[in-house]
Amino acid sequence: MARAALGLLGAGAVALLAVASVALLPLVSSDDGYRHCEGVVRGWADSSTGREKDGDKLSLKDLLFFLHIPRTGGRTYFHCFLKKLYTNAQECPRSYDKLRFDPSHPDCKLVVTHDDYSLTSKLPRERTSVVTILRNPVDRVFSTYEFSVEVAARFLVHPNLTSAKLMTTRVLTKSRAVSTLDIWPWKYLVPWMREDLFARRVARGFDKVHSSKKVNTYDVEDMVMPLHEYINDPVAHEIIHNGATFQITGLTNNSYFDGAHEVRHCVRQHPDLGHIVLQVAKNRLDQMLYVGLTEDHEESARLFAHMVGAQVLSQSGTLNLDLKEDLPSENDSHPSMVELEEEARNEHLNSTHGWQNNEALNSTSDEQGNGNMTVGKLMEAYETCIAKLRKSQSNRRKISLKKVAEANFSKEARKLVPEAILKQIISLNSLDMELYDHAKKIFTQEHLMLKAQQSVVGHHRQLAEQKGWTDIICGDGICSPWMVVMLGLGIAAIIALLSFAVTTRRRTSKLKDGWKAPRIIERSRIPYKNVSK
């Protein structure tokens, strides 16, 4: 019996151990997975550290790489700034079309692309300056959602999805144009949203263009994928959330780095590893020539014109610093980039198939490579350009959204989005939120540097004026001792003559006053006697 009992006890112990081991397996596996991911992320970070610290980061190098984070207003900078500073021949060909991009072009001086930082592996790193613009992550997610809907909605002019795809293929084959569907991340986001729009149209009925349920603009579910579904979809987790951090670190799903997917997967699986990636992103921003902010559009434009534009003009030999418009006044009424994007969401296309036919955009490139361009003229041209863009893009947005009329996106509509969704967006983009705060600090430093630069320029001008006066006296600017003595005697003589003239004038004045005094007294007595009588 005892043996039987011991046998049963032993069997029970074995069973408990088996159960415990099964229960512990996930913990062990999870721990091993964390250690593996930590090694992967730290290994990547170590290999990425220190690459950017080459020379003076504030000096423009041979090649300018504009790292365009989607929905930050970078397309406006491209057409209204860079197209006026660089000629078509100086742009790296097809830089928005990764498959046909050729960075080895002999005259390539400008790359503007949605490609992430890993593109620098294809560029001459020691001769490349990087610039970018960041935007508040919550607004960027909103704008990404809105633009996805806007572009996808253009396809609703077709009777069905198959027809839309066939027509798009035919047009692109004939025109060889660069479409939004060729450009990251829209080549993933637009087809995804397009399929969803067609499915919802079929479900509600082809002819119905109004929703049967109206909660708010961002939750018209029988017409458009609601925002809360959009941000929770795996596609959004893969491409949108923390997108700025992953793009600046070169870890998007469009990366040239083969291990990008594993690093990105590890960070999503183990969020506490995100601080490693975030630190690399901050270091990258610190080493960039320029970091702008979408929300502070006016000051960002000024900084870009003086920190980047001035150097491009200087290298081309056309620099003429015009500081009259350097610092914004309290009465500046220029639209913010956020307002600009609310009215002009489409930065790429004039139609479903390409942006080459955009009259307003093309009209901004009339002054490409203008040898007479200065910083002051550059800012004036920029203001004129964005006014044209606002008008054309606002009209295009209205046309694009006609088939989903109740998706009338605006700043006012955003205010109606539930607080819970806003908090979720912030949580899903925690890395981008912290990176954006870091960018704001850099932006403040850039502003201070510009003011210091302007002060130095003013001082140099004063010195130049003084030097010009010395050159008149001394010829080559070097005065010999006897010239200094003669100059001193001359100045002393002038002072003596001036003193003599002043003294003589004073004496003459006193004599005249003395001669007039009796007459004044005599006249003053007459009324006195009359009064006494």
Q: Domain residue spans in the chain?
A: 38-48+55-135+238-320+370-403+417-459
What residue ranges of the chain have pLDDT lower than 70?
A: 1-29, 50-55, 95-106, 175-177, 207-215, 317-371, 456-490, 492, 498-533
Q: Which amino acid appears at position 432 of this protein?
A: D
CB distance 290 to 134 below 8 Å: no
Model pLDDT, residue 533: 39
Model pLDDT, residue 461: 61
CB distance 350 to 177 below 8 Å: no
Phi, psi of 350 (to 5 degrees): -95, -15
Q: How far apart are CA 13 and CA 389, in angstroms?
A: 76
Model pLDDT, residue 24: 40
Q: How far apart are CA 231 and CA 531, in angstroms?
A: 102
Angle between helix 137-153 and 430-474 (nearest 10): 100
Which residue numbers are catalytic? 125, 146
Alpha-carbon separation of residue 104 from 101, 107, 115 (angstroms): 9, 9, 16
CA angle 276, 280, 281 (to 5 degrees): 115
CB distance 310 to 143 below 8 Å: no
The position carrying tokens 């939004």 is 180
CB distance 48 to 120 below 8 Å: no
What 3-state DSSP class applies to 95? coil
Q: How far apart are CA 206 and CA 12, in angstroms?
A: 66
Q: How far apart are CA 266 and CA 411, in angstroms?
A: 35
Tell whether pTM > 0.75. no
Q: Which amino acid appears at position 75 of this protein?
A: R
Q: Residue 25: how many CA atoms within 13 Å on its side-chain side?
A: 6
Q: How many CB atoms lie within 10 A of CB 497?
A: 10
Q: How far apart are CA 153 and CA 180, in angstroms?
A: 13
Model pLDDT, residue 344: 36
Give me the residues paired with residue 132 across strands: 67, 291
Q: How far apart are CA 92 and CA 106, in angstroms?
A: 9
Which uninterrupted H or E stretch holds 65? Answer: strand 63-67
Angle between helix 161-175 and 186-204 (nearest 10): 150
Q: Taking the mean position of all CA atoms in its chain, how far away is CA 286? A: 14
CB distance 133 to 291 below 8 Å: yes
Cα-Cα-Cα-Cα torsion 268, 274, 277, 280, nearest 10 degrees, comes to 160
Nearest to 180 by CA among 143, 154, 201: 154
Nearest to 123 by CA among 140, 136, 105: 105
Cβ burial 37-62 (10 Å sphere, 16+ → b, else e): beebbeebbeebeeebeeeeeeebbe
Model pLDDT, residue 242: 98
Between strands 290-293 and 128-134, the pairing is: parallel
Model pLDDT, residue 485: 53
Q: How far apart are CA 246 and CA 263, in angstroms?
A: 10
Give me the residues paired with residue 293 across strands: 134
Q: Which amino acid appears at position 451 of this protein?
A: K
Q: What counts of helices (H) and strands (E) characterise the chain?
A: 20, 4
Model pLDDT, residue 52: 53
